[in-house]
Amino acid sequence: MPLTKYIRDYLDSQINYYISEAQSFKQIVQSYSPEITSVEDATFGMISGCVYSAFLRACENEKRSIELEDMQEFNRIIKENAALIKTAIIQSPE
């Protein structure tokens, strides 16, 4: 069963929010340097994790158990937006 419009719209809004806040997340990640190898990759992971957490909450709000098809659609949404997220991270000042 595909994700509901509510969940897809919510994920889109979350992705847009985290794109707009990429600089803040990059600054958080930079505070762990030099322990991490790539600030940009770690920031991408942090943002993806936050969106995933929002996905879990949205499914819980709808009392929906997450199926493999849901995870595949979530991953597709992240992949479709990966370039936008990465660009926002890279364009953020050091």
* CA–CA separation, 54 and 48 (whole Å): 10
Per-residue buried b or exposed e for 61-93, using 16+ beta carbons within 10 Å of the residue's own CB: eeeeeeeeebeebbeebbeebeeebbebbeebe
pLDDT digits (tens, 9 = 90+) for 52-66: 999 999 999 999 999
> Token match 């709000």: residue?
61
Q: Which domain holds residue 46?
A: 5-91
Neighbours of 12 (CB within 10 A): 13
Q: Name the domain count of the chain.
A: 1
Mean pLDDT of 39-62: 95
pLDDT digits (tens, 9 = 90+) for 4-21: 999 999 999 999 999 999
Instruction: Report pLDDT for 93.
Output: 60
